[in-house]
Amino acid sequence: MRARLSTDGGARGNPGPAAYGYVLEAEDGTVLAAEGEAIGVATNNVAEYRGLVAGLEMALELHVDEVEVVSDSELLVKQMRGEYKVKNEALRELSAEASRLARRLGQVTYTAVRREHNELADRLVNDALDAAGT
């Protein structure tokens, strides 16, 4: 099964109260899974990667074997494509975890989009932060 995984993460303050969100959709646009979760204090980039990892884990659970990851984080996309090195230690661990999950899935591609094209995942992040009272 092929799917599109839209991921996002954000922090209010950097670092600050942070959350991630992801939406996993089938090719026909059916939402297979969506989640937003507050993760405590973290940087924007850590939150972005936590959203990617959570979304890839869900894709594995749902037996998806081909995923297009869509993110408004150009850094995450370029690091996962191997275009940029991952220098930050916290990001290196999360990047390695995401890479391990991606290998188990089969084919994973990464596409950078503008924030307005990642609206639902972005809303899940903000809803999670609001629910956490931050």
Query: What's the pTM?
Result: 0.96
> d(Cα 56, Cα 23) in Å, to the nearest integer?
10
* 70 residue type, one letter: V
Model confidence pLDDT, tens digit, residues 95-107: 999 999 999 998 9
Model confidence pLDDT, tens digit, residues 44-98: 999 999 999 999 999 999 999 999 999 999 999 999 999 999 999 999 999 999 9
Identify the CA nearest to 71 among candidates 24, 121, 34. Answer: 121
Q: Which domains does the chain have, with CATH numbers?
A: 2-131 (3.30.420.10)
Identify the CA nearest to 108 among candidates 61, 59, 72, 75. Answer: 59
Identify the CA nearest to 110 among candidates 2, 1, 4. Answer: 4
**Long-range contacts (CB closer than 8 Å, 24 or more residues apart) made by 94-100:** 94/46, 94/49, 94/50, 94/52, 94/53, 95/49, 97/53, 98/49, 98/52, 98/53, 98/56
